[in-house]
Structure formats: C-alpha cells, structure tokens
Structure 1
Amino acid sequence: MEQKILKIHPFDNVLVALDNLSNGETIRLEDHTLQLKQAVKAKHKFALTDFNKGDTIMMYGGVVGKACQFIGKGEVLTTENVSHKADIFGKRIPHLDWEQPDISKFGGRSFLGYHRSDGQVGTANYWVVIPLVFCENRNVDVMKDAFLEELGFAHPNKYKSYVRKLVAHYQSENTSKNAIALEEEQIEVSPIFKQVDGIKFLTHQGGCGGIRQDSEALCALIAGYLNNPNVAGGTILSLGCQNAQISILEDKLNALNPHFDKPLHILEQQKEGTEEDLLVKAIQLTFQGLTEANKTIRRPAPLEKLTLGLECGGSDGFSGISANPAVGHASDILVALGGKTMLAEFPELCGVEQQLINRCTNDAIADKFTKLMETYSNAAIAVGSGFDMNPSPGNIKDGLITDAMKSAGAAKKGGTSPITDVLDYAEYANKPGLNLLCTPGNDVESTTALAGSGANIILFTTGLGTPTGNPIAPVIKISSNTDLAQRMPDLIDVDAGGVITGEKSIEQMGEELMEYIIDVVSGKIKTKAQKLGQDDFIPWKRGISL
C-alpha cells in the first residue's frame, strides 16, 4: 500500500502528509496512534504530539519553529499556530567522517566538452555581449536584433503567427466569438556557426548610481562570466563615464585569471563617436570572434571537470524529501569523482548553519561562513526584514511555513560531503568538493551568481514550477512531484516524484540525475529552459534581497 505519511527523522515531532488526509482519519506510526482533527493537504505537516505555547517544532532532526499557541496532536501546522525558530550556531565541531556514495557506475566516465587553455572545460560554447552600464542596454538590444535571425540563433516565435491570425480576424470584421487556436509551426533553424551554441546578449540595470560596491560586484560578476568555460569570448559595451569602469573590469579579470586569453573586445561609446560607429565596430568584432569560436569542437573530458551549481525555486513541502536530497546525492557523486559543486542561497541555510559549519574542512572556512551569514542576517534585520520573512506565499501555501523549515529541506541539495570552501558573491570556485556561495534566495539572482562563480551546469529543483534559466549555464529543472511534471512538461526536465510514491530511492534518483547531466553537458540533450530561450540575468546589488 502506498505510504500516506512520512516521519523524516527519528527526532521529529511532526509528520508530513504525502497524500490528502481526511478529517478524523486514524494515523498509525510505530508506537503512535492519533486521529486527525482536521483534513490535511498533501505536503503539509501535522502534530505528532501535543504542543504547548513555546514548544519547539522539530523536522529533519533540527529546530524549524515554535508553537505560538496550543497545538493538539493531529492538528495541522499553520502560520497562525507556528512561528519561525532556528537552531543557534557557534564554533566548528569537526564532523568529517563522510561515507562516500558508490561511484562504480561513473568511475572513468567522460563527457564531451569544450576545452579551454586554462584547463577548464565548457559544457557549451557561447559568445556573450554585456554592457558595463544600463545606458548601453539599447545598443545591446540593437546588436541582438541584428545578429540572431541572420545567424540562425533566434528562437522560433509561434506567437507571431498567432497575432497575425488575430489581426486578420479583426480586419475581416468577423464577429464570431469562437477562440482562435494556436498552431505549432515546424521551423527549421540552421545556425551559420555549427560549433557555437549561441550569442547571449545580457542587459541589466546596474553599473552607475547606487553604491560603488555594487559596481565593483558587477564587474567581478561579468569577469566571472567571461572566465566561465562555457564562454568562448565576449564583447563589452561601455559608455565611459559610469561607476563600473573598464579598468575595474580588467583588474577583476586579471585577479581571477592572470592568463586569460579568450578573445575580448571592449568598446567605449564616448570614444568611438556616433552610435553607428560604435555598433558597426562592435558587430564586426563580434562576428570575427564567432568565426574563431566556431573552430573549437567538443572533445572527451573527465567528469571531474564539471562544476555543478545547486539551486531551488518555487519550492513546496515535498522539495526537501524528494528533489533536493536526490540532487544532494548527485552532488556527492560528483564530489567523490573529484568535481566541484556549489550550494547557494544563504537565507535558505538559516537553522542548518551549525551542521554546515561542522562539515567545513578547517576553521578558517567555517569562520568565513559564519561571518557572511551573520553580516547578511544583520543587514536584513537593519532594514526591518529578516531571514524569517524568506518563505514566499507559494512556499507557505504548499507547506513551507517557516524559513527554518524551508532551509532544512533546501540544504539537502548539498548532500553530505565535506565543505572545502566558502565563497562570497562573485568569488570563483577553484577548489574541488562542495563550496558554499553567498547569494540571495531569489532564483534569478542566485543562478546568475552560480554561473559567475564558474558553474558550467546547474541543477534547479522546484515544487511549484518556475521558468528560470541562465544564459550560459544549462539549467536542468527537477520537479519534486509528478503532478507538476505532468502539468508543466514544457518546464520540467526530470521528475523526482517517484521518491514520494516509493517507486524510487534517493540514491536511484541521484544516479538518474547524473546520467541526465552527462547527456546535457555533452550536448546530446537541450534542457527545457534552453529550448525556451530562458536567459535570465540579474546581478545582485548588495542591498537586502531575500
């Protein structure tokens, strides 16, 4: 019989409903028997015991909240009867006895990638066009309009023909109320440069105004994108007078990679003259760069050359028990193979800090994590917010009612391996093993940062569905439940719902993910986000963003 409830950890005092449960239904688990006092929707939690006001709520073996009123055994946990509470954290108590996963299926395996002169290997081959300041966004858009269709990189837009039908319907004075169907068009796209995966035109609202640290961080982020192995070269447009100066970008790039040798063209509009002069030169240089990028071909590379970004968005009450731990197992496999993984979203590590601190390989790394977390948390509190305000309405509706509860599940993406480094925003991942990267929980700001820190592939779990993608790093979308995968098949690549139904184990799902990763990074499969042209790019201003 299919399991309807789950106790995640022996220390937990709440249960998770894996299916809709009826009011009055009798629940039996181990030596506990209780009768539900109200209906419980799937993904939500209910009390395994009576809670008095102030009592601690435990999930995943840790503190995830406290009762703010009496909660009877069998009652549903809600934002009305539970408030945020998290475990305190302090000095590192080393816990590095890591039991590595079985990697026999992946030892000696390789993928087909683009080898760069600095030893990095790309999973894609893109040219990027990026402005140093928002004043150049229009020029970037003009270049985009000039290039994409002519070179065969444009994504077919079936909605154009749909609008044409609507116009024709209107002009014919047809008074029919019948809906006009959207029809699929079979459009053959044949890029001119076969070895180039595309030109990515990135725009943003930064580079001037704000605080100078924001411009410094933007330049560091852009340097990371240029250095990312998925990028063959780039064109940078500068106005000239902005805070994000060319010299800052050059300094960041040199500090990141003193031997950087990719083709890079930086143009300054206030020196070039007219807009036409600037654009003609930028287009010519970009075209020349594409001809060079097209000479690079995919060649075998060991899996240790992968840098895997770990991300979640639109999470639900199942994310922490299916998709996230499956991703964590895939992360552990890659770490055991000698690769790099990055766990981001610091507001969603609230309450599991001590566990992560204990997994750090030395005190210096642990202290850096502690300082970044405390600084971030204090900055949020200073503007009248806090990590406790992180859960979104969608999270809460689907069972994640406190930030600590959300964080305990989100941290599962990092698996169980030791933490070899902690990175501030826009720092580049260089050490094999699991890295912690300081980013907001905001999906796009975080995925933007992961690619800027060197991720050449990103795993993104979701329980509610989100179209988020990245311009240069393929994003594999994993659903926490099968209903989502069936309802939004245009967004979801892999369904982890079999873990909820008991059809698959966490280990099986993690191994399936690794196989899927190998196909994606070898260019054999395009992710749904790639097919949709979902090129999200939002640099983080170091003000408060949760």
Structure 2
Amino acid sequence: MEQNQVLHIDARDNVWVALKELSPGTVTYQGRSLEVREPIAQKHKVLLADLKKGEQVIMYGVPVGVVLKNLPAGSLLTIENTKHYAEPLALENRQPYSWTPPAVSKWKERTFNGYHRGDGKVGTANYWLFVPLVFCENRNLKVIEEALVKQLGYYKPNQYESLVSEVLSGTQSQTTYATDRVFENIDGIKFLYHHGGCGGTRQDAETLLRLLAGYVHHPNVAGATVLSLGCQHAQADWFQSIQKELYPNSEKPVLYFEQQQMASEDALISAAITQTLDALKEANEIERKPATLDKLVVGLECGGSDGFSGISANPVLGYVSDVLVTLKASTILSEFPELNGVEQNIINRCETQELAEKFVRIQRAYEQNAQAVGSGFDMNPSPGNIKDGLITDAIKSAGAAKKGGAAPISDILDYTEPVTKPGLNLLCTPGNDVESTTGLAGSGANVILFTTGLGTPTGNPVTPVIKVASNTKLAERMHDIIDVNTGGVIEGTQSIEDAAEVMLEKIISVASGELSKAMQLEQNDFIPWKRGVSL
C-alpha cells in the first residue's frame, strides 16, 4: 500500500490530516482535489471547506472546535484561528447502540502462562510488595529496599556506577550484591513510595488506602509487607477494613509493622525483613501455568500523544480491545478528561441507563472540581500535543477515545473501584500519564498498553506496561522504550487489523513473562491521584 499525502478519517469531517508535509498547491485524495493555501506540517489539519467565524470544525465525525475568524478551504488550523468546542452531553439524547464483534476464532484456544490465584484471578507477574501507609515510612522502605534487592538477586547495576568508580579511582568497583535470584518464582520486590497518608483530608487518606488495597490484592502480587508509623490518618485497621470491603475473596498474606509500637527503628526494619523472607519462601512455591485469554485485564492508556496517535496506535488498541472483549476478557479505558467531546457516544454505548447516569455524574463532578481550581478539560492538551497537531482538547479526546474500540461499555468505575466484569470498563482517572497508569493497575489491570507519539518512559511497579509508537520515526529514535510500532498504518504498509494481531502476540508474550521495555528500565512509577487537581 502506497502512503497518501492526507487522510480523511470520517466522511462527515471537514478537515484532512496531513500524513506528510504539504506545500502550497493542489493535493488530491480519493478523487477530490484541494488547493492548499499555506505550508501544512505533518500531523496537522487542513480545512476542506470555507468556514465562517463561529462555525464548527468536524473531525472523527464529531465537533472538535470552532473557528475564530472566516477561513477559506485549504487553510491550516492553528490555536490562533481555532478554539476548543465539544458537544454537551445529555442523558435524554441517549440512543440505541449496536456493534459487530470482530472474528476471534484464531485466539479462542490461545493461552498465556500466568500465576493462578485463589480468587480465580491470574497474574502476569509475581511480586512481593512493600507498602507504607504514610510518607514517614519512606526512609525505612529505602533501607529495606537496598538490603533485600541487592541480596535477593534483583539488583541491576547500571553503567554509570562503574563510570563514577573509574573516574574517581581509575578502577571499577567490586560486586557487593547477589547475581542470581534467590527466589526463582518471585519476579521482584516492589516498593510503593508516596507522599500521602497524613496531613491531608480524610478523603485523601481513604482514597489512598483504597488504591493501596488494589495493589496489595492485585493478581500480579503474591503478598505484601505494610509499614505504619501509628499516628497517621491512614490507620492500619482502616486499611484492613477497606481490603475486606473491596476484596472479600482475597487470601493474600499481608504482614503489618507499626513503628510506634516497636522498641526502635532497627527492631522495625529487622522484623519486617525477617518475616518477609519467611513469607517469600512460601510465595516462591507458585509457578506459571497456562491461562486462557479471558483472564487478561488490559489497561488502555496514552501519553505524549501526537497527531498520528488517533489514526494509528489508538485505533489498533481499540481493535485489540474489541477482540479481547469478544473473548470475555476485560479492558479498561481511563483518562476521563480525554473523553471530552465524545461523551454522547459513551452514553449511547453504556449497556444500561444506570451506567450512563453514573458516567455523567462522575464526569460532571470531575469537570466542576477542575473548574473550581481555575482549570478545565479544555486546558488538557500539552505544548507537545499542540505542536504535533492536537490543538484542541476535543481533537485530542476524539483520537484518545479510539483506544476503547467499538464494544458496548459493561461498567463505569470511579477511581480505585476494582474491575469485576468482563467487557469494556471505563475508569475515572486524570489524563496525567503516571496518575492514570497508577489507577489502572490499582483497579486490577494485569497488562497495560500505552500508546505514544512523542515518547515517554512511564511504567508501573506491578503491571507490565507495553509501549506502542504511533509513528516509525519515534520507534526508531526511542527504540529503548518502544515495544511495538504501529507506524506502518500511517505509511500504508500495515492495516489496523494486522497491527492489532502483532499487538496481541506481544501481550501474550509479556503476560507469559517476557520483559517489556519499561520493565527492563525498571520504570516503577507510582503517583496516587488527588481528586480535582490533575487533568
């Protein structure tokens, strides 16, 4: 397939997307010619028809902006001549929805090798977790991490350690850590450093505890060691009651240590290490075994998006999601600010009126909280987004929503609510990359697919993150962080369906133990969300 100069995404659109840099002159696409009036950078949008001031720009079949002055056909859309516009959501306008599931016969008998848990969930990894209930314990966590990671064979020295040694002394430093894994079936020891648990509101503490509960009882976690100071808002008994509420069927071993009840800091650290080592011996007995693909819970995320994300990487994830939904697996679409402008489609796709009402309630409350601190969904695009053609939030959102495919929505989840249903789930998180991936893992995603057009190294402590490039230039330039390239969709050498097949094979490999690039780089990013502050 030969690459076109432009792309007309939806028949209703009054813009073309530039797949290559366009010079002034005639451009022809699918029998239609357009006189381009000015240089159009790759990924940016050119008008197909004259628009008067205030008239709507249509892309992905929905309004994504209005023009600020009269613009002739062939004009470049910019932040100077176009502003954000999104159709208001309305429950009373909810329409019947139907879809055609993709063919999945090729995938029905496929399996991945995972860790089977007592509650029926299957992990794609097997970690032991250290959890502080308050930031006061971060220093103790650091001491424990240095001891355990180095002595249990999980420490990965980097080239810069030996570089420093050579510069200072002219010789390389000697090895002072175990080089072989002591517990073969434990993939790592993870530490959830954070800055919460006290000093904020009671709501902040509760939200943090609900999030931490999702990590402790995550299918990729064998068990956890919890450190508490003792006087903080996020009390250990409150944490235990939240765990019972959210995960009543979990049988995870959880060890608790409270510093103010110990004779000394040394006593706390020594007891935590000793008892954790005993628990690791038992956790090490579990081994990977085959599991059908319906045991996958796949998070759908994007960050560092560009003008190609919505026409290559995100639609590929959407097709993957539809395949997994048809196989009775669960997928999770997050980032509620990046649904701005496609809310009506979301409402229509909700399987019940109650779900539609819950979505509207959460979405409206979120936007009101953002406006209360002087922000709004229209401020979501970053400078990098804008530079690469995502000039309004509605353009960004309409492309980002493509990650959710076409399947009906089986559940609407507020932040920290766990996934309990197969099908496409919507999870309320901010658009912030790390806060959103943190939330996806906290709700049970055992694999996260993360599309990017500009590049980002984001990962997660317990869930493998697979990075998907929207364009080949990025995949080649940042090959150390990119796992899958969908640039062939832009270049005309690969269909969305073919790219989705490559993506599904990658999911199976990573779910079976292959390390994604973010895992190789030990990107253990963990940032809890404080509601109403982040977009």
Aligned 8 A contact 2:85 2:394 in 1: yes
- Cross-structure match for 1:56: 56
After superposition, the C-alpha distances for 1:204-254 in whole angstroms (9 at most, x for unaligned) are 011111211010000000100011100000001010111111122111100
Q: Secondary structure at the match of 2:310?
A: helix
- Cross-structure match for 1:137: 138
Query: What amino acid is the match of 1:44?
Result: H
Query: What amino acid is the match of 1:124?
Result: A
- Cross-structure match for 1:68: 68
- Cross-structure match for 1:11: 12
Instruction: Identify the match of residue 369 of structure 2 among 379, 392, 395.
Output: 379
CA distance in 2, matches of 1:12, 1:269: 61
CA distance in 1, matches of 2:532, 2:168: 45
CA distance in 2, matches of 1:489, 1:167: 32
Instruction: Identify the match of residue 439 of structure 2 among 435, 439, 449.
Output: 449
CA distance in 2, matches of 1:37, 1:282: 69
Superposed counterparts of 1:203-242, under 5 Å: 203-242=193-232
- Cross-structure match for 2:41: 41
Cα 1:519/1:8, change in 2 over 3 Å? same
Query: What amino acid is the match of 2:355?
Result: I
After superposition, the C-alpha distances for 1:278-337 in whole angstroms (9 at most, x for unaligned) are 000011111112111110000111110110000000000000000000001111111000
Instruction: State the TM-score, normalized to the length of structure 2.
Output: 0.97
**1:428 matched to 2:418:** yes
Query: What amino acid is the match of 1:250?
Result: Q
Superposed counterparts of 1:21-420, under 5 Å: 21-22=22-23, 24-30=24-30, 32-91=32-91, 93-168=94-169, 189-420=179-410
CA offset at residue 4 of structure 1?
A: 1.0
Deviates more, 1:259-268 or 1:441-450: 259-268
After superposition, the C-alpha distances for 1:171-228 in whole angstroms (9 at most, x for unaligned) are 9xxxxxxxxxx9xx9x994211110100001100111112110100000001000111
CA offset at residue 498 of structure 1?
A: 0.4
Aligned 8 A contact 2:150 2:178 in 1: no
Q: Secondary structure at the match of 2:518?
A: helix
Deviates more, 1:198-207 or 1:37-46: 37-46
CA offset at residue 87 of structure 1?
A: 1.2
CA distance in 2, matches of 1:71, 1:145: 61
- Cross-structure match for 1:489: 479
Cα 1:168/1:25, change in 2 over 3 Å? farther
Deviates more, 1:425-434 or 1:73-82: 73-82
Query: What amino acid is the match of 2:453?
Result: G
CA distance in 2, matches of 1:79, 1:223: 43
Cα 1:272/1:108, change in 2 over 3 Å? same
After superposition, the C-alpha distances for 1:44-73 in whole angstroms (9 at most, x for unaligned) are 111111221101000000011110122221
Query: What amino acid is the match of 1:10?
Result: A
CA distance in 2, matches of 1:214, 1:507: 42
CA distance in 2, matches of 1:30, 1:330: 28
CA distance in 2, matches of 1:324, 1:191: 37
Aligned 8 A contact 1:155 1:533 in 2: no
Instruction: Identify the match of residue 534 of structure 1 among 516, 523, 526.
Output: 523
Which ranges in structure 1 are unaligned for 5 or more consecutive residues? 172-181
After superposition, the C-alpha distances for 1:266-289 in whole angstroms (9 at most, x for unaligned) are 111011121001000011111112
CA distance in 1, matches of 2:179, 2:431: 36
| CA RMSD in angstroms, aligned pairs only | 1.6
Cα 1:165/1:108, change in 2 over 3 Å? same
Which ranges in structure 2 are unaligned for 5 or more consecutive residues? none
Q: Size of the alignment, in residue pairs?
A: 530
- Cross-structure match for 1:175: none
Instruction: Identify the match of residue 513 of structure 1 among 494, 503, 506.
Output: 503
CA distance in 2, matches of 1:465, 1:346: 21
Aligned 8 A contact 1:15 1:46 in 2: yes
Aligned 8 A contact 1:155 1:532 in 2: no
CA distance in 2, matches of 1:166, 1:47: 58
Query: What amino acid is the match of 1:460?
Result: F
Q: Secondary structure at the match of 2:274?
A: helix
CA distance in 2, matches of 1:101, 1:272: 58
CA offset at residue 168 of structure 1?
A: 4.5
Query: What amino acid is the match of 1:537?
Result: F
After superposition, the C-alpha distances for 1:97-149 in whole angstroms (9 at most, x for unaligned) are 22001101101211111000000000000000010000000001110011111
CA distance in 2, matches of 1:188, 1:506: 45
CA offset at residue 411 of structure 1?
A: 0.3
Deviates more, 1:505-514 or 1:402-411: 505-514
CA offset at residue 30 of structure 1?
A: 4.4
Q: Percent identity?
A: 55
CA offset at residue 502 of structure 1?
A: 0.9
CA distance in 1, matches of 2:241, 2:391: 44
